[in-house]
Chains A and B, each alone.
Chain A
Amino acid sequence: MNLWEIFQNIDRRVWYVLLLVSLFIPLVRPLGLPLSIGGEARDVYNTIEALPAGSVVIVSPSYSPGTDAEMWPQHAAVMQHLMRKGCKIIQVSLALESVMYAVRAIEAYAPKYNYKMGVDHVIMPYKAGLDVVIASMGRDIHALYTEDYYGTLTSQLPLMQSISGIQDIALVVDFMPGNTLVDYIKQIGSVYNTPITGGVTGVCIPTMMPYVMSGQCRGLLGGMRGAAEYELLINSPGSAIGGMDAQSLSHLLIIVAIALGNIGLVAGRGLRKGGGGK
């Protein structure tokens, strides 16, 4: 086996070890690589920044632990921004596990901003049905959620008493690894003209870009980078900024892997044409 063939046939376990090292080193010793803020993240920030204090916002964490690394930093950063702005927050869960993230966000930030349950924020229980739930939310949110996550009647909660329906919602922010952000746009944004924005995993960015470009989605947080950009915008560094260096090195490793494979391929091809091959 000549050098070019070795380049093309590096054992996958070598890449596994190199990837592990490239992820581990920046987490232990951050590299401090630069990070510019993109237009989509800035649009999300400006949309929330323009909300008057006391606006009621639906935050929908629709993700599960598999996408925690990308979605939780987005969710956490937006929750901090909303609380800093004094917005009232209704958290609804469209994925079975996502209600735990709603609880986690409240436990993490409510004490700092003195947010009271039922007055400044509400956590709604999980409802199965995805777009059917979103459509029902638009038609009659009070009929859909008669109790909050802790079993309190929503009719007794001051925050829920202050809204008559979806027309009183100033903004919907969805965090999804799937398709719920599109469902919010279709079932609520397009029907009731409620502004919609949110965050997605890196692989979902292409799916959402047509909606962002058309203005149906007011900006977008894409993957860990989107979360890191938002942490910079609200000046509250968190796990996303810390994770970006690890992502940088792992991307660089993948590029090196691709380059080696292709150098081997092209050089090997040249060698065979020139009659130097086996």
Chain B
Amino acid sequence: MKFTGVPILVTMVVGGVVLLDFFVKQSNLILLSREFMNWGVIISAFATGLGAANLLRIHAKRTQLRRTDWWYSGILLCVLVGYTALGVLKHSSSSQYQFVFNHMFQPLSATVFSFNAFFMTSAAYRAFRVRTVHATVLLVSALLMMLGRVGIGEVLYKDMPGIASWISRVPTTAGFRGITIGAALGAIGLSLRVLTGIERSQFGGTGGGGGAA
């Protein structure tokens, strides 16, 4: 049996206070809620640091043990340590830090992301086939959206942007609104389960159950 009583209690108190703050305007409650929110930001920052430390540990070990493709881990370590040192010693507003960002990281990152355009072209060619009625509906709406979002669509038919806008505003919105409301109801249910200690998967277990800690 895991010791989960204290984390559940902390979750109940913190979650309860922040939730109550939305409905009850009481000065002490507001102050306490603000404090908890600031703790949340600090914990998030700590989690980011923990992630970086974990990355460092894993890749240092890979490099040390010369595992397969260990040099990639070595490069990662050099960049992680070097760029962090540059930020700490010179500050991220320094010209050196910004040079690395603007002339190395930004173009590399944008290049990797732009590969998607090539994969999407190939995938669209292979996937969009009129094999069923559903596939045909998807294909037609995709074609109208693609033409409606670019200038060449207007050259072919002047009302094309209006058609794309209608698809976006009416059927798409209707579908997404349903999904959003459903997801929100699910989130409320899950939040209540966490707050009341029924949901415990965040402690590493399988969740659910409702038994005592």
**A interface residue numbers (CB < 8 A to B):** 10, 12, 15-16, 19, 23, 31, 33-36, 38-39, 64-69, 96-97, 99-100, 103-104, 127-130, 132-133, 135-136, 139-140, 143-144, 149-151, 191, 202, 205-207, 209-210, 213, 223, 225, 244-245, 247-255, 257-258, 260-262, 265-266
Contact = CB atoms under 8 A, between A and B. Distances in A.
Contacts of B196: none
B146 A129 contact: no
B121 A253 contact: yes
B149 A202 contact: yes
Contacts, number: 173
Contact of A210 (B105, B150, B173): B173
A207 B176 contact: yes
A41 B47 CA distance: 37
Nearest to B40: A132
8 contacts: A19-B118, A23-B117, A67-B113, A127-B45, A150-B93, A248-B153, A251-B149, A257-B121
A36 B153 CA distance: 11
B197 interface: no
Contact of A252 (B93, B122, B152): B152
Contact of B121 (A19, A39, A135): A19
Interface of B: 22, 30, 33-34, 37-38, 40-41, 43-45, 47-48, 91-93, 98, 101-102, 105-110, 112-114, 117-118, 120-122, 124-126, 128-131, 139, 143, 146-147, 149-155, 161, 165, 168-169, 172-173, 175-177, 180
A39 B151 contact: no
Contacts of A104: 102
A68 B150 contact: no
Contacts of A257: 121, 124-125
A52 to B, nearest CB: 30
Nearest to A12: B122
Contacts of A254: 120-121, 124-125, 146
B38 A143 contact: yes
Nearest to B46: A128
A31 B155 CA distance: 12
Contacts of B161: 36, 38
A132 B41 CA distance: 6
Given A10-B125, A266-B130, A66 B110 contact: yes
A261 B120 CA distance: 15
Nearest to A100: B101
A247 B150 contact: yes
Contact of A65 (B30, B93, B105, B139): B105
A33 B110 contact: no
A33 B176 CA distance: 32
**Those 9 A-B pairs whose CB atoms lie nearest each other, nearest first:** A33-B151, A129-B44, A65-B109, A66-B113, A128-B44, A257-B125, A132-B40, A248-B150, A248-B152
A254 to B, nearest CB: 5
Nearest to A244: B151
Contact of A265 (B41, B106, B129, B177): B129
A226 to B, nearest CB: 10
Contact of B102 (A100, A244, A255): A100
A103 B93 contact: yes
Contacts of B129: 261-262, 265
Nearest to B48: A128
B146 A16 contact: no
B152 A265 contact: no
Contacts of A213: 169, 173
Contact of A136 (B37, B109, B150): B37
Contact of A34 (B48, B131, B155, B165): B155
Given A206-B168, A209-B173, A223-B149, A261 B125 contact: yes
A254 B149 CA distance: 13
A14 to B, nearest CB: 10
Contact of B106 (A35, A68, A249): A68
Contact of A149 (B47, B93, B124, B139): B93
Contact of B177 (A67, A99, A210, A258): A210
Residue among B33, B38, B93, B149 with the most chain A CB within 10 A?
B149
B40 A143 contact: no
A232 B171 CA distance: 28
Contacts of B147: 251, 255
A64 B109 CA distance: 9
Contacts of B169: 209, 213
Given A99-B92, A207-B176, A255 B143 contact: yes
